[in-house]
Amino acid sequence: MPPKISRPWLVALAIVAIALPLIPYRFEVSAYVVQMFMQAVTYAIAVLGLVVVLGYTGQINLAQAAFFGLGAYGVALGTVTGGWSFWLSLAAGAAVATGAGLALGLTTIRLGGHYLAMITISFQQILDLVLVNWIEVTRGPDGVAGIPRPSLAGFELADDRAYLVFCAAVLYVVVFAVWWLPHTRLGRAMRSVRENELAAEVVGVHTLRTKVVAFSLSALLGAIGGGLYAGGFAYISPDNFNFARSVEFLTAVLLGGAQSPFGGVIGTLLIVQMPEWLKHLPESLRFIKDVYLAVYGIGVILIMVFLPEGIWGLIKAARARLARPADTTDTSGVAPLDFDVPGAAGGPVLRVKALSKHFGGLKAVDGIDIEVARGSVHALIGPNGSGKTTSLNVVSGIYRPTAGQVMLGEEDVSLLRPHQRAGRGMGRTFQNIRLFSTLSALENVMVGAQRDRNPIGRGNRALRARAMSALAFVGLADRAHVIVRNLPYGHQRLVEIARVLAGHPRLLLLDEPAAGLNQTEKMEFVDLLRRLRGHGLTIFLIDHDMGLVEKVSDRITVLNFGRKIAEGSPQEVLRNPDVIAAYLGTAGKVN
Amino acid sequence: MALLELREVASAYGNVQALRGVSLRVEAGELVTLLGANGAGKSTTLKTISGLIAPVRGEVLFEGQPIHRLGPEAVARMGISHVPEGRRIFPGLTVRENILLGGSNRKGVTRRQLEAEADEKFQIFPEIRPFEHALGWTLSGGQQQMLAVARGLMARPKLLLLDEPSLGLAPLIVQNLFGAIRDIRARGTTILLVEQNANMALSVADRGYVLETGTLILEGSPRELLDNEEVRAAYLGGHHA
């Protein structure tokens, strides 16, 4: 559900939005000013693409001007060279740009961070070179002139004022869509990738697809902005679409606030208008005119240093202070969590066969066999560095096995990616909690509920209901709307478990779930594990607290140096002399 | 004069109050433990002492000198070493380099002596000796924890602040670790220890404080705390181990 906007805000926003582009009809405004707004509006559409890819998905993109250029050249060459209609040309440019965005997004399969920045810069430079040098097609540095404007449903948009109204309408549609996006399945997936890509993948988000879609959307919006820009100014040349312009777009989005479409629009307005204001200073301040670029640069730096979330972040914080939302959530009508997994039959839930994982010469896991019986709690223990977490990483798909097999039920999942395993009912938590820290507890758990093939109804309502039930199960339903990083540590551990439960797991993998809990919290945790087992859930867990392991486990496997050294019931294993020597020591006493 | 004294210290993260007027003393040579639930303010107390957080109110005195306005490096130079929670090791340096760096605040110590001390650390944590020349990030979670503690010990501090040193360690290693903590103390280092494993902590401590939502609610000897009904219910799982 998108955030609620209070009625007075909405009305004020609507009035300003509708009135602004109509001003030139009512008052005398120079053509120069109208064109400047046309520039701001078309730029803003491109900048909103960056809100999606950078603000929501956390992927750096320094090639937005290239996509902007593809849209602009699509319109220019389509209409002028090809003699196509404006709309067909725009669609063609947008299609090419989206394809390029898709290709760029695919590079994120291997690269992230500064490597991705390099890739996008390279793409930007390549396009720049093509536009300048492929003269037969692009007309080179001279650019393309005489680009016509379209007509829409019988209205000619040739007049500057009419064209501005049209561009503003497109911008508003885009603002609305980008504003709505974070609260959809796709938007939540994007934000989970931004917050913690590994956790997102393991929870069931197809992270690569999410990033590719984000890049494609960004490119599409860039191209639409560019296409409208070309129509607006009738003339374009390669230097409108170079790297400096990409940096300008990036500055705009960071300045305004990358996490909100309103931030993107505010940032763009400032970037386009600020140099103009500085030019029109009164006589006494004219000296600034000579250094206005420096003043402008300093202004941008100051805003970025002191407002890391941009100008919109400042406005948001002010609004939050005025109207503090309730900390607790109404929990009436939350259904009890249902654990039934369709099609679950007998036989072991997890079978690990001769599994090995080697890192160079280090045999972290060296040929282990484990069977986890349906409905049981199976513990994996062993000294630090004995290969426990590595085993869990191979089972959940973070690492590919060097040799051996992982079977989930009757299916060999050894070569599946983590989100595919999550889509088949494998869920896990992490040693050092991995939540999506700026999302609410509810949103975190909803991401878990939206895994592929989760047997719940379609739509946000079903996801939300499922997530609330999972939170209620761990006793946190009333904290559903708290941003998780503000929750105490023990509660964060529970949210992480609720996130897995929301996805109807057939197998729950827990990596040191009780680490950092005190004895009393551990007792509560033991109760939670017993309740889960009572509902028929199969649990495979790692922990170092032997009191806890002994209380909850049906079976224990002990690893040392990547190999299994013992297996059996808690009584057998914890008395095994090898296990005592390698792992337990004289439990409970200081030597 | 106590080695460390906190007087009515209040600390906050933004507008979230974490400590609400905490007063405590640690005498030279003592091993004092700080117990409390998650979010009670134990780690915040340590961060306030080591200068990572500036208190909103109150004073922190070390050897009688106020240190609450000093930055973390100045505090470290005065002889306070903080081993934070969460395995903050240097991933791109070798295990041995990580340990040696722990001694970088000490003046007039020869490289040879530091190397010898690093070898001692490998006796405390034999599990990480085989990885002496491996890079920090290749260690498992528990091994990184051992490395962080080993590095903190290299500082030879007057006061050692340990934040949940046993987190994620195998039982055998926890025993080694607490044995080591006892040895360090026997050699004259004063220790303030934060632990979730209250039984273990009280078994080595001289005194303990119990912190609840930013306020100290109890102080006493390990025996007194272990016998206290409230402490047992809240932190020891309700039964006496």
Predicted pLDDT at A236: 96
Q: Are B117 and B52 in the same domain? A: no
Which tokens is B137 given?
Answer: 């990030």
Choose from B15, B169, B196 for mutation: most chain A CBs within 10 A.
Answer: B196
Q: Which residues of B fall within a CB distance of 8 Å from A583?
A: 170-172
For residue A262, the Cα-to-chain-centroid distance in whole angstroms is: 19
- The whole-angstrom distance between B42's CA and the closest CA on chain A is 12
Q: Are B106 and B196 in the same domain? A: no
- The whole-angstrom distance between A18's CA and the closest CA on chain B is 39
As a whole number of angstroms, the distance between CA A158 and CA A308 comes to: 41
Res. A192 pLDDT band, cuts 50 70 90: very high
Res. A344 pLDDT band, cuts 50 70 90: low
Predicted pLDDT at A286: 66
Average pLDDT over residues A249-275: 91
CATH number of the domain encompassing residue B184:
3.40.50.300
Predicted pLDDT at A520: 84
- Name the CATH superfamily for A346-425+509-514+542-585: P-loop containing nucleotide triphosphate hydrolases (3.40.50.300)
E strands, A493-586, where?
507-511, 538-542, 555-560, 563-568
Q: Are B235 and B218 in the same domain? A: yes
Name residue A423's amino acid. G
Which tokens is A217 given?
Answer: 């959307």
Q: Are B63 and B162 in the same domain? A: yes
Task: Report the predicted TM-score, pTM, of the whole model to 2 decimal places.
Answer: 0.88
Choose from A518, A543, A574 for mutation: most chain B CBs within 10 A.
Answer: A518
Q: For residue range A412-463, list pLDDT tens digits in order.
A: 999 999 999 999 999 999 988 999 999 999 999 999 999 999 999 889 999 9
Residue A514: φ, ψ to 5°: -105, 5
> Domain boundaries in chain A?
7-243, 346-425+509-514+542-585, 427-505
Q: For residue range B125-183, list pLDDT tens digits in order.
A: 888 899 999 998 888 878 888 898 889 888 888 999 999 888 888 888 888 888 888 88
As a whole number of angstroms, the distance between CA A380 and CA A541 comes to: 6
Tell me whether residues B142 and A385 touch, CB distance under 8 A: yes
Predicted pLDDT at A309: 87
Residue A333: φ, ψ to 5°: 80, 15
Predicted pLDDT at A284: 72
From A170, A198, A171, A179, select the one nearest A52 (Cα to Cα).
A179
Neighbours of A537 (CB within 10 A): 24
The vertex-A36 CA angle with A35 and A40, nearest 5°, equals 115
SS3 call for A371: strand
Q: Are B104 and B178 in the same domain? A: no
Predicted pLDDT at B232: 84
Tell me whether residues A490 and B235 touch, CB distance under 8 A: no
Average pLDDT over residues A405-411: 95
Res. A590 pLDDT band, cuts 50 70 90: very low
- Contact status, residue B87 vs residue B165, Cβ threshold 8 Å: no
Residue entry with tokens 């001694």: B103
Q: Which helix (H) or strand (E) holds A409?
A: none
Q: Are B10 and B72 in the same domain? A: yes
Q: Which residue in B86, B175, B237 is closest to A585 by CB distance?
A: B175
As a whole number of angstroms, the distance between CA B18 and CA B39 comes to: 8
Predicted pLDDT at B241: 41
From B145, B12, B9, B168, select the one nearest B83 (Cα to Cα).
B145
Who wins on pLDDT, A239 or B123?
A: A239
Which range has the top average pLDDT, A513-522, A563-572, B184-193?
A563-572
- Contact status, residue A235 vs residue A78, Cβ threshold 8 Å: no
Rg (CA), chain A: 29
Residue entry with tokens 């889509």: A423
As a whole number of angstroms, the distance between CA B196 and CA A515 comes to: 9
Q: Which residues of A fall within a CB distance of 8 Å from B35?
A: 518
Q: Is residue B87 over pLDDT 80? A: no
As a whole number of angstroms, the distance between CA A63 and CA A300 comes to: 20
Choose from B166, B172, B183 for mutation: most chain A CBs within 10 A.
Answer: B172
Residues B128-158 as b/e (b if ≥16 CB within 10 A, e otherwise) read: beebeeebbebbbbbbbbbbbbbbbbbbbbb
Domain stops at, among B108, B136, B155: B155
**Residues 6 or more apart in contact with residue B155 via CB below 8 angstroms:** B76, B81, B102, B103, B105, B106
Look over chain A and give the mean of its residue pLDDT values, rounded to a whole number. 91
Q: For residue range A13-64, list pLDDT tens digits in order.
A: 889 888 888 888 888 888 888 999 999 999 999 999 999 999 999 999 999 9
Q: Are B176 and B145 in the same domain? A: no
Tell me whether residues A522 and B237 touch, CB distance under 8 A: yes
Interface residues of B toward A, Cβ cutoff 8 Å, are: 16, 35, 37-39, 86, 127, 138-143, 145-146, 164, 167-176, 178-179, 182, 196-200, 203-204, 233-238, 241
- The whole-angstrom distance between B232's CA and the closest CA on chain A is 8
Q: Is residue A406 over pLDDT 90? A: yes
As a whole number of angstroms, the distance between CA B31 and CA B85 comes to: 19
Domain around B164: 1-79+157-241
Q: Are B49 and B32 in the same domain? A: yes
Tell me whether residues B196 and A516 touch, CB distance under 8 A: yes
Q: Is residue A513 over pLDDT 90? A: yes
Predicted pLDDT at A415: 95
Q: Which residues of B fall within a CB distance of 8 Å from A381?
A: 170
Res. A325 pLDDT band, cuts 50 70 90: low
As a whole number of angstroms, the distance between CA B211 and CA A498 comes to: 29
Q: Which helix (H) or strand (E) holds A365?
A: strand A362-372
Domain stops at, among B118, B134, B155: B155
Length of chain A: 591
Who wins on pLDDT, A129 or B86?
A: A129
Q: Which residues of B fall within a CB distance of 8 Å from A579?
A: none
Predicted pLDDT at A327: 62
Interface residues of A toward B, Cβ cutoff 8 Å, are: 359, 362, 381-386, 389-390, 431-432, 486, 488-490, 512, 515-523, 544, 546, 582-591
Q: How many CB pairs under 8 A join A and B?
A: 109
Which range has the top average pLDDT, A164-173, B149-158, B187-196?
A164-173
SS3 call for A327: coil
Q: Which residue in B168, B176, B179 is closest to A515 by CB distance?
A: B168
Name residue A43's amino acid. Y
Res. A343 pLDDT band, cuts 50 70 90: low
Predicted pLDDT at A295: 73
As a whole number of angstroms, the distance between CA A540 and CA A305 comes to: 46
Q: Are B75 and B161 in the same domain? A: yes
Domain stops at, among B155, B189, B210: B155
Residue A353: φ, ψ to 5°: -120, 120
Tell me whether residues B140 and A389 touch, CB distance under 8 A: yes
Q: Are B170 and B217 in the same domain? A: yes
- Contact status, residue A147 vs residue A231, Cβ threshold 8 Å: yes
**Residues 6 or more apart in contact with residue B36 via CB below 8 angstroms:** B42, B210, B211, B212, B235
List B162's β-bridge partners, or say none. Answer: B83, B193
- Contact status, residue A474 vs residue A498, Cβ threshold 8 Å: yes
Tell me whether residues B175 and A590 touch, CB distance under 8 A: yes
Q: Are B162 and B173 in the same domain? A: yes
Domain count across chain B = 2
Average pLDDT over residues A284-297: 71
Q: Are B72 and B167 in the same domain? A: yes
As a whole number of angstroms, the distance between CA A120 and CA A107 comes to: 10
Q: For residue range A360-397, list pLDDT tens digits in order.
A: 888 999 999 999 999 999 999 999 889 999 999 999 99
A516, B168, B185 from B141: Cα distances, Å: 13, 7, 26
